[in-house]
Structure 1
Amino acid sequence: MEEKKKKSIGFNIIKSDPTDGHGGFGVGALSLDNISPVFVDVEEKEAFVDIGAMHARSTVEKGIKFLPNKEEVPNGKPYWLVWVTIDRKEEGPYYAGVTACEMTVDRSIRRGYKSLPEHVNLMDKSMKRKIIVDKMDDSSKRVLGEFLKKHDQGLWDRSSDELKTSLLPENN
């Protein structure tokens, strides 16, 4: 007789507040409803949202084996994966957390570089309403700032001065 495999409880994305009083399954689970992955293509100077990045399944990442050593991907195309968290205050929603992670991809050898622990830690920091974009080059910051501003002017206007001056210092 075959042994039955133990059922594992996988990672859940909870839509409503997991601590709303019922005390049952899902209490303490992490909600990823308000975070979005935005890619900045450094060479093309464009930004785009790709929800697939939540599970490392974005168009940039598909078919690529990621290595932990940047030197192993010397001809990699540079990207920034930016975790953008939206929160709400009295005046309305705003960009609350924005953190940028480095990534390179060389499609010709199907290899890329990213530091998974860094990506996880920076996603967490974005969810904790931190602004961490200091490693980004100025051009990529501008691309991201213009993208966020164009995406929703109201969100941008209600966001912190720290975010605005970090991404678009000339406009402040």
Structure 2
Amino acid sequence: QERFPADLHLPRVTDFNRHLGFAMPHDFSDIERLDIPAIEGAIKRYGSRGNEFIEHELAALDTGLEAWELLHPQIRDACMTQYENGLYRDAARAGVELLMDEICRFTGRRDDGDVLIRGAVGVERRQLGFSANEDANEKSITEGMKLVLQGLYKGVRNPASHGYDGFP
């Protein structure tokens, strides 16, 4: 590590050294499968910092799709006309309303808004979950997605439905 530049932070160097030290067959497998690719990636990123690095990373993320193509087909169908006509508030509201309608359909509930989300989404039996909800991490995922849904309702659908004009 001391031979490398101080600002080059190589992942898995400690693991790499440990694997070399033990030198068991599975250690060499870990070196090939985990350690070397992680170190190579860090070196490549270090060597291409700056604008080239940013352009490289963005190109790696490019799917070749337009943003609307990444939407679920039901969401796209519900709001594409409004979006194409520049009615962005209406498009956002339509997407969130569809989401709320789908939550009602999945759960059989007739509530709306925050009451619907708090009652329908969660880690309890008969609630919609975003994971198996078997351990603390999975429960955190579901609770986090519940907060995202509450934010969509409170931050998009509710203000848009009550005539708020502060949206661009």
TM-score by structure 1 length?
0.20
Higher helix share: 2
Structure with higher Rg: it is 2
Higher strand share: 1
TM-score by structure 2 length?
0.20
